[in-house]
Amino acid sequence: MTITQASTARVGPAPAPPLVDRFGRVHTDLRVSLTDRCSLRCTYCMPAQGMDWIPTPSILTAAEIERIAAVCAAAGMTTFRVTGGEPLVRGDVVDVVRRLAGLRGPAGEPVEVAMTTNGIRLDALLNDLVDAGLDRLNISLDTLRPERFAALTRRDRLDDVLRGIDEAAHSPLRPLKLNAVAMRGVNDDELVDLVEFATGIGAQMRFIEQMPLDAGHTWDRARMVTREEILDALSRRWVLTPVPGRGHAPAERFLLDGGPATVGVIAAVTAPFCAGCDRLRLTADGQLRNCLFAKDELDLAAVLRGGGNDEAIDAMLRRSVEAKLPGHGINDPGFLQPARGMNAIGG
Ligand code: SAM
Ligand code: SF4
Considering the entire predicted model, what is its pTM? 0.95
pLDDT at res. 10 = 54
pLDDT at res. 332 = 79
**CB distance 112 to 78 below 8 Å:** yes
Q: Could you please report the per-residue DSSP string of 221-279?
A: GGGBPPHHHHHHHHHTTS-EEEPS--TT-SSEEEEETTSS-EEEEE-TTTS--GGG--E
Task: Return the half-sphere exposure (C-beta side, CA atoms, 13 A cut-off) of residue 34.
Answer: 25
Q: Please state the domain count of the chain.
A: 1
Helices (H), the chain: 62-74, 93-101, 122-132, 146-153, 158-169, 191-200, 227-235, 300-305, 310-322, 342-345
3-state secondary structure of 306: coil
The CATH number that applies at residue 188 is 3.20.20.70
In a domain, 144, yes or no: yes
In a domain, 2, yes or no: no
pLDDT at res. 120 = 98
* Cα gap 342→328, rounded to integer Å: 15
In a domain, 24, yes or no: no
Number of the ligand closest to the Cα of 40: 2
Give backbone dihedrals phi and psi of 83, rounded to 5 degrees, phi first: -155, -160
Q: What is the pLDDT along the chain (347 residues), one digit of tens a residue?
A: 344 444 444 568 999 999 999 999 999 999 999 999 999 999 999 999 988 999 999 999 999 999 999 999 999 999 999 999 999 999 999 999 999 999 999 999 999 999 999 999 999 999 999 999 999 999 999 999 999 999 999 999 999 999 999 999 999 999 999 999 999 999 999 999 999 999 999 999 999 999 988 877 888 888 899 999 999 999 999 999 999 988 888 999 999 999 999 999 999 899 888 999 999 999 999 999 999 989 899 999 999 999 999 999 999 999 999 999 999 888 777 788 888 888 888 87
Buried b (16+ CB within 10 A) or exposed e, 222-238: eebbbbebbbebbeeeb
**Which atom of ligand 1 is the closest one to the Cα of 44?**
23
215: CA distance to ligand 2 center in Å?
11
Task: Return the half-sphere exposure (C-beta side, CA atoms, 13 A cut-off) of residue 221.
Answer: 9
272: CA distance to ligand 1 center in Å?
17
140: CA distance to ligand 2 center in Å?
8
In a domain, 14, yes or no: no
In a domain, 259, yes or no: yes
Q: Which domain holds residue 65?
A: 29-345
* Cα gap 124→84, rounded to integer Å: 19
**CB distance 167 to 203 below 8 Å:** no
Number of the ligand closest to the Cα of 36: 2
* CB-ligand 2 contact for 338 (6 Å cutoff): no
In a domain, 76, yes or no: yes
pLDDT at res. 248 = 85
* CB-ligand 1 contact for 102 (6 Å cutoff): no
73: CA distance to ligand 1 center in Å?
25
pLDDT at res. 272 = 87
167: CA distance to ligand 2 center in Å?
20
* CB-ligand 1 contact for 43 (6 Å cutoff): no
Number of H helices, E strands in the chain: 10, 14
pLDDT at res. 273 = 86
Best residue among 41, 158, 345 to mutate for probing ligand 2's pocket (most ligand atoms within 8 Å of CB) is 41
In a domain, 22, yes or no: no
Give ∠ CA 157-56-39 in degrees, rounded to 5.
5
pLDDT at res. 84 = 95
**CB distance 318 to 303 below 8 Å:** no
Question: Radius of gyration over alpha carbons of the chain, in Å?
Answer: 20
Give backbone dihedrals phi and psi of 316, rounded to 5 degrees, phi first: -70, -35
259: CA distance to ligand 2 center in Å?
31
pLDDT at res. 182 = 96
3-state secondary structure of 71: helix
Q: Under 8 Å CB-to-CB from 169, ≥6 apart: which residues?
A: 176, 201, 202, 203
**Which atom of ligand 1 is the closest one to the Cα of 40?**
1
In a domain, 4, yes or no: no
**Which atom of ligand 1 is the closest one to the Cα of 345?**
9
pLDDT at res. 50 = 86
180: CA distance to ligand 1 center in Å?
8
